[in-house]
Amino acid sequence: MMTAQSALFVAGVVVIGLSSAYAQAPQRTTAAYDDWTVSCATAESASGKSCEIFSIQIIENQPASQITIKRGAKSEPYRVFIQVPTNVWLQSGVKLIPTDKQASIVATFRWCVAARCLADADLTEGMVSKMRTWSEPGRLEYKDAAQEDVSRPISFKGFAPAFDALQKQ
């Protein structure tokens, strides 16, 4: 049987545990720019602030893919990370195609887990400059495990102001 004193001790341990976990949890802010979102997390640790922009492509009310752009440090280049469902032909990678008139960005698959696969690529300053001008709908292209072509539409609406906000962080 628990005494009142031991009950207070247990409650105090729980509160202390929750408050220290809360203090260590990163603070997150987001801002939407049409179809792109800027997300920043600030931790109290030495890692500081980390920001990214992302766009989630929805097909039939389900997330079909996600594109994320971020960099590890201000001195590092930006990288694009593309998540697609599993059942992909890994050797083909994923192409981010702005329009039929412009060159695509090819991302290499890095890993797959039960629900998704991730591909990534470095973005040069020239690529980033071009991406900021994209306004027409684009697409993601890759092959499924049966080597059939898969194409997913992508909106670049709001990309430029979201990227501007990312650079100011």
Give me the residue spans of the domains in the chain. 27-168
**Under 8 Å CB-to-CB from 57, ≥6 apart: which residues?**
63, 64, 65, 66, 67, 140, 152, 153, 154
Look up tokens 């501007």; give the residue: 164
Q: Quote the pTM value.
A: 0.80
Mean pLDDT of the chain: 84
Question: Does the pLDDT value for residue 17 go beyond 90?
Answer: no
Helices (H), 25-155: 125-133
Residues in the chain: 169
pLDDT attached to residue 23: 52
Interhelix angle for 125-133 vs 159-168, to 10°? 140
pLDDT attached to residue 2: 43
pLDDT attached to residue 37: 98
Contact criterion met (CB below 8 Å) for 142 and 154:
no
- Domain 27-168: CATH superfamily is Invasion associated locus B (IalB) protein (2.60.40.1880)
pLDDT attached to residue 45: 62
Residue 14 or residue 159, greater confidence:
159
